[in-house]
């Protein structure tokens, strides 16, 4: 089967009503999204919502229950030409215990025609990876450093980073961010980062995809996502007046004071009203937004269960 | 082939483990056989008397020492190397093909190692004391072709059996692996029982072949395990 | 780059910093400003964000693009920036300043005295 030239197909990842069940448990209920290539995406959402599952489905590591997944217009499952452009080192990646770091770095280039030895060498030095240590003896941070080295050096057109910073100290995280941006600037590719450390990594992202309740709750440009909600704080009655009928994602009470995370952008009228009624308005960080979405979803589930019972 | 080669290289990344170690195990088995022969010789005198030699002709050490280790090589290949192959963009099919070529290389190493040690045994007039580890009935009583074929097939069978169980574990988890192990055991025992039951029918057919019959049987079983491991691999997930 | 408390998009913050750099003379008229990639690495932000900052400055007439070469400081940009900031001075600084003063119960004279004291 002759491979078709890349330009013949729309590039990017296409997810169409993707579902995934594990036994009776439905993890992904209807994931639909278009991810044009060449951008850095943040894949966000609470623990267990299915970020790793979704990435596994895209790369064919797991089999989807339903729906369609396309990479560059082609179904990636068992397609060597498409899959060799992907790289997905899991957060809990298994390596052959008897392989040393050196062994692994010697073998993986065979999988990627795009491999950059120079990038690999540079990252090994910067992260101070111990070349002769067996994979099973690596610390959590060293495993992450190895995963990052392999992922960035692969120069795979679709690179997936699954919680890449676990176990890395602050200076190593700096190295990760700097190297990722430098590589991306010099050799653009599609990068999908699944992360909990949202605020720290937010600046690297161009677009965010937030998973909640088995679906894509939000997919926007990172600046819009950061403006997606705000926090207003003050006396409860005045807060509720300002909020009006907008959706409140979370509420925190302290006596008569209410701190509410409100969905939507702050308007100039909001600011005027706030100044007059002695309320404070604060931008919510991306992390707070995603957390609020998650908590809100949990509340909805709880409320539905209550109503049903 | 471009996509199969990385998986072969993955298998061979630890060259010592998959090519050298099995031969080392054969050598250790040889060493143990010689130590035992040595102790017997201390009592009976050297070279060893005919009675001992007859018993040593049935030394099955070569057949016992290799499968266990190769079973684990097969399991690890399907468990660990598989995870790596998928992470770095390989398909399941290419992984199975690359690993299979690796299995052939390992089996070749075992076969060649056996023939070399057999040659040494004959050249040294059975290790100077009439001890036997490779010039044994199980390996064709000194026939290098049969010794090679027997050990090659045994290795392939061990590797693919390990691979099969490693894959079942990957695809279906612990419970099903136990079920598969029990099922395979039952199948093997029933086949063995049916075999013995119909021995009077089978024996005449086999007379011309003798030990080659078992090589052929091993080959068929290895092929079946290979097919089973391929089938299981198709549903394996990381 | 840490987000500002009032949630101003990062690209605007970067645009402001470049404008401030132009005002202090770091980039004279017709000089080239750093590229998207250089800004991206320096501020540790996505190149798209850096690109948005530069485009905003182009829209504002502070920079202009030369195809294949990069972004350059427009003729008269420093004066234009200064004028714009003077116009915004009342809204951005004076009004909130007076509002806070009134919240604290200070009279206009007391506030003026404070200004004079600080200026010394």
Cβ-based contacts of B238 with chain A (< 8 Å) = 56, 61-62, 90
Note whether A61 contacts B84, CB cutoff 8 Å: no
Question: Does the beta-carbon distance from B87 to A104 stay under 8 Å?
Answer: no
Among C86, C16, C82, CA closest to C54: C16
pLDDT for B142-187, tens place per residue? 889 989 999 999 999 999 999 999 888 877 778 888 888 888 888 8
Q: Contacts by A59-63 with C-beta closer than 8 Å and gap 24+? A: A59/A83, A59/A86, A59/A88, A59/A160, A59/B86, A59/B89, A60/B86, A60/B91, A61/A88, A61/A90, A61/B86, A61/B87, A61/B237, A61/B238, A62/A20, A62/B237, A62/B238, A63/B235, A63/B237
Shortest Cα–Cα distance, C105 to chain A (Å) = 15
A181 plus A235 within the same structural domain: no
Interchain CB distance below 8 Å, A181 and C3:
no
Q: How many Cα neighbours within 13 Å face the side chain of A184?
A: 29
- Residues A191, A236, single domain; the answer is no
Q: How many CA atoms lie within 13 A of A148 on its CB side?
A: 32
pLDDT digits (tens, 9 = 90+) for B47-59: 788 878 888 888 7
Structure token digits, residue A128? 């101070």
pLDDT tens digits for A37-69?
A: 999 999 999 888 899 999 999 999 999 999 999
H or E element at residue A221: strand A215-221
pLDDT digits (tens, 9 = 90+) for A110-122: 999 999 999 999 9
Three-class SS of residue A172? helix
Tokens, residue B146: 């049969």
| Domain-terminating residue out of A163, A195, A224 | A224
**Smallest Cα distance from A288 to chain C, Å:** 12
CB atoms within 10 A of CB B195: 11
pLDDT tens figures, C31-66? 999 999 999 999 999 999 999 999 999 999 999 999
For chain B, report the end-to-end CA distance as a whole number of angstroms. Answer: 23
**Mean pLDDT, chain A, integer:** 91
Task: Quote the distance between the C-alpha of residue B44 and its chain's center.
Answer: 34
pLDDT band for position B205 (cuts 50, 70, 90): low
A83: contact with B, CB 8 A cutoff: yes
**CB-based contact B92 A84, cutoff 8 Å:** no
10 Å Cβ neighbour count for A41?
22
The answer to whether A80 contacts B84, with C-beta atoms less than 8 Å apart, is no
Phi, psi of C102 (to 5 degrees): -65, -40
Confidence of residue B202 (pLDDT cuts 50, 70, 90): low
Q: Which of B57, B67, B72 is nearest to B26 (CA)?
A: B67
Domain count, chain A: 2
Mean pLDDT to the nearest integer, B188-217: 72
DSSP output for C7-49: ---HHHHHHHHHHHHHHTTSS-TTPBPPPHHHHHHHHT--HHH
Question: If you measure CA to CA, which chain B residue comes closest to A90?
Answer: B87
Q: Which residues of A touch C37 (CB under 8 A)?
A: 185-186
Same structural domain, A239 and A214: no
| Residue after which a domain boundary falls, among A179, A194, A224 | A224
Residues β-bridged to residue A71? A13, A74
Q: Nearest by CB to A78, which of B87, B93, B238?
A: B93
Domain final residue pick, A189, A206, A224 = A224
Of C5, C44, C45, the CB nearest to A282: C5
Query: CA of C104, closest CA in chain A: separation in Å?
Result: 13
**The two three-digit tokens of residue B51, written as one number:** 């009675």
CATH of the structural domain C10-75, one choice from 3.50.30.10, 1.10.10.10, 3.40.50.720, 3.40.50.10240:
1.10.10.10
Sequence-ordered list of residues with C-beta below 8 angstroms from that of B53, at least 6 positions apart, any chain: B130, B132
**Tokens 């807060």 label which residue?**
A239
Q: What percent of chain A has pLDDT over 70?
A: 96
From the number of C-beta atoms within 10 Å of its C-beta (0-12, 13-18, 19+), residue C120 rates as exposed
* DSSP 8-state class, residue A124: H
Q: Are residues A48 and A67 in the same domain?
A: yes
Is A14 contained in some domain? yes
Q: A239 with A153, same domain?
A: no
Query: Are residues A280 and A171 both part of a single domain?
Result: no
A206 plus A297 within the same structural domain:
no
**Higher pLDDT, residue C1 or A182:** A182
pLDDT of residue A291: 86
A280-283: strand order across its sheet: A248-254, A257-263, A229-235, A280-283
Domain boundaries, chain C: 10-75, 78-119
Give B12 to chain A, closest Cα distance, Å: 9
pLDDT at B96: 96
CB of B113 closer than 8 Å to CB of B23: yes
Give residue C6's pLDDT.
60
Phi, psi of A304 (to 5 degrees): -65, -40
Could you give the CA distance from residue C73 to residue C65 in angstroms, rounded to a whole number? 9
pLDDT in tens, B35-44: 888 888 888 8
Model confidence at A6: pLDDT above 70: no
| C-alpha distance from residue A34 to each of A68, A73, A187, B238 (Å) | 12, 11, 22, 25
Output the pLDDT for position B136: 81
Q: How many CB atoms lie within 10 A of CB C82?
A: 12
Q: Inter-chain contact C48–A203, Cβ cutoff 8 Å?
A: no
Whole-number pLDDT of residue B142: 83
- Which residues fall within 8 angstroms of residue A160, CB to CB, at 6 or more apart? A55, A58, A59, A86, A87, A88, A89, A151, A191, A192, A194
Residues A292 and A171 in one domain: no
pLDDT of residue B208: 55
Q: Please report the pLDDT score of residue A8 as a whole number.
A: 52
B and C touch with 3+ CB pairs <8 Å, answer no
Question: Quick check: B23 pLDDT over 70?
Answer: yes
Please check the confidence at residue A138 and state whether its pLDDT lies above 80: yes
**Contact (CB, 8 A) for A249 and A291:** no
Q: A230 and C7: CB-CB below 8 Å?
A: yes
Query: Helix, strand or coil for residue A66?
Result: strand
What integer pLDDT is reported at residue A18 of this predicted model?
Answer: 97
**B74 within 8 A of B22, measured Cβ to Cβ:** no
Using alpha carbons, select from B162, B160, B163 the residue that is nearest to residue B236: B163
> Is residue A303 over pLDDT 90?
no
Domain that holds residue A59: 6-224
Contact A94 B80 (CB under 8 A): yes
C47-59 and A170-186 helices cross at what angle (nearest 10)? 60
CATH of the domain at A303: 3.30.70
Partner-chain residue, chosen from A85, A96, A156, that has the shortest CB–CB distance to B14: A96
Task: Report yes or no: C3 at the A interface, CB cutoff 8 Å.
Answer: yes
Nearest CA in chain B to A150: B88
Question: How far is it, in rounded angstroms, from Cα A289 to Cα A293?
Answer: 6
Residue C54, SS3? helix
- Note whether C12 and C57 are within 8 A (CB): no
- In A, which residues are within 8 Å of B93 by CB distance? 78
Query: B5: which chain A residues are within 8 Å (Cβ-Cβ)?
Result: 110
B44: which 2 tokens?
Answer: 């009976």
Q: What is the pLDDT of residue A148?
A: 97
B138 vs C117, which has greater pLDDT? Answer: C117
**What whole-number percentage of chain B has pLDDT above 70?**
95
| Residue of A178, A185, A283 lying closest to C47 (CB–CB) | A185
Query: For the whole model, what pTM was predicted?
Result: 0.86
Query: Contacts of residue A185 in chain C, CB cutoff 8 Å?
Result: 36-37, 40-41, 47
Q: What is the C-alpha separation between A211 and A293, in angstroms, rounded?
A: 10
A220 and A262 in a single domain? The answer is no
- The closest CB to that of B80, out of A60, A80, A96, belongs to A96
CA dihedral of A152, A155, A156, A162, whole degrees rounded to 10? 10
- Ordered by start, the domain boundaries in chain B are 5-172+208-235
A1 assigned to some structural domain: no
Residue contacts between A and B (CB atoms, under 8 Å): 84
pLDDT at residue A233, rounded to an integer: 93
CB-CB contact of B27 with B120 (8 Å):
no
Selected for mutation to probe chain A from B84, B176, B232 (highest A CB count within 10 Å) is B84
Residues of chain A contacting B76 with CB distance shorter than 8 Å: 96-97
Pick the closest to residue C16 from C46, C72, C60 (CA basis): C60
């Amino acid at each position: 089967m002759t491979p078709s030239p890349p330009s013949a197909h729309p590039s990017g990842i296409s997810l169409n009503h993707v579902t995934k069940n594990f036994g009776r448990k439905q993890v992904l209920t209807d994931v639909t999204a278009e991810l044009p290539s060449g951008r850095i995406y943040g894949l966000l959402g609470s623990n267990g919502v299915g970020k790793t599952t979704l990435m596994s489905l895209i790369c064919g590591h797991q089999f989807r229950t339903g729906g369609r997944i396309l990479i560059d217009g082609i179904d990636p499952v068992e397609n060597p030409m498409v899959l060799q452009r992907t790289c997905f080192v899991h957060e809990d990646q298994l390596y052959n215990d008897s392989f040393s770091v050196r062994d692994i770095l010697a073998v993986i280039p065979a999988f990627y025609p795009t491999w950059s030895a120079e990038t690999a060498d540079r990252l090994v030095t910067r992260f101070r990876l111990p070349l002769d240590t067996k994979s099973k003896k690596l610390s959590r941070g060293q495993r992450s450093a190895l995963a990052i080295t392999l992922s960035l050096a692969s120069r795979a057109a679709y690179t997936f980073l699954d919680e890449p910073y676990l176990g890395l100290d602050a200076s190593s995280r700096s190295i990760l961010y700097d190297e990722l941006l430098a590589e991306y600037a010099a050799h653009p590719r599609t990068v999908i980062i699944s992360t909990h450390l949202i605020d720290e990594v937010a600046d690297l992202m161009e677009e965010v995809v937030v998973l909640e309740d088995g679906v894509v709750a939000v997919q926007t440009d990172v600046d819009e996502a950061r403006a997606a909600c705000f926090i207003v704080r003050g006396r409860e009655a005045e807060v509720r007046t300002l909020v009006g009928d907008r959706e409140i994602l979370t509420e925190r009470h302290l006596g008569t004071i209410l701190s509410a995370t409100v969905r939507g952008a702050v308007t100039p009228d909001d600011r005027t009203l706030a100044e007059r009624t002695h309320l404070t308005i604060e931008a919510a960080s991306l992390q707070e937004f995603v957390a609020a979405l998650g908590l809100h979803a949990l509340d909805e589930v709880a409320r539905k269960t209550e109503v049903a019972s | 082939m471009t996509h199969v080669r990385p998986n072969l290289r993955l298998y061979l990344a630890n060259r010592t483990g998959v090519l050298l170690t099995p031969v080392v195990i054969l050598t250790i088995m040889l060493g143990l056989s010689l130590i035992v022969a040595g102790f017997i010789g201390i009592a009976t005198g050297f070279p060893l008397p005919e009675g001992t030699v007859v018993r040593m002709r049935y030394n099955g050490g070569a057949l016992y020492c290799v499968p266990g280790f190769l079973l684990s090589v097969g399991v690890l290949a399907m468990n660990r190397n598989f995870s790596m192959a998928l992470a770095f963009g390989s398909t399941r099919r290419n992984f199975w093909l690359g690993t299979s070529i690796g299995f052939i290389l390992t089996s070749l190493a075992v076969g060649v190692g056996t023939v070399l040690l057999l040659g040494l045994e004959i050249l040294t007039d059975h290790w100077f004391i009439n001890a036997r580890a490779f010039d044994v009935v199980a390996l064709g009583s000194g026939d290098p072709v049969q010794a090679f074929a027997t050990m090659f097939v045994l290795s392939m069978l061990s590797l693919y059996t390990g691979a099969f169980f490693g894959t079942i574990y990957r695809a279906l988890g612990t419970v099903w692996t136990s079920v598969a192990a029990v099922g395979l055991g039952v199948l093997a025992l029933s086949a063995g029982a049916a075999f013995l039951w119909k021995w009077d029918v089978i024996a005449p057919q086999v007379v011309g072949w003798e030990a080659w019959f078992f090589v052929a049987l091993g080959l068929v079983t290895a092929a079946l395990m290979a097919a089973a491991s391929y089938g299981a691999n198709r549903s394996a997930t990381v | 780059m840490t987000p500002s408390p009032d949630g101003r998009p990062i690209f605007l913050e970067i645009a402001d910093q470049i404008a401030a750099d132009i005002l202090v003379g770091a980039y004279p008229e017709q000089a080239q400003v750093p590229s998207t990639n250089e800004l991206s690495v320096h501020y540790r932000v996505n190149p798209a964000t850096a690109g948005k900052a530069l485009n905003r400055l182009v829209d504002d007439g502070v920079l202009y693009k030369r195809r294949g070469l990069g972004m350059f400081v427009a003729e008269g940009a420093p004066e234009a920036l200064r004028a714009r900031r003077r116009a915004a001075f009342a809204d951005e600084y004076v009004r909130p300043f007076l509002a806070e003063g009134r919240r604290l119960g200070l009279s206009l004279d007391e506030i003026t005295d404070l200004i004079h004291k600080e200026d010394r």
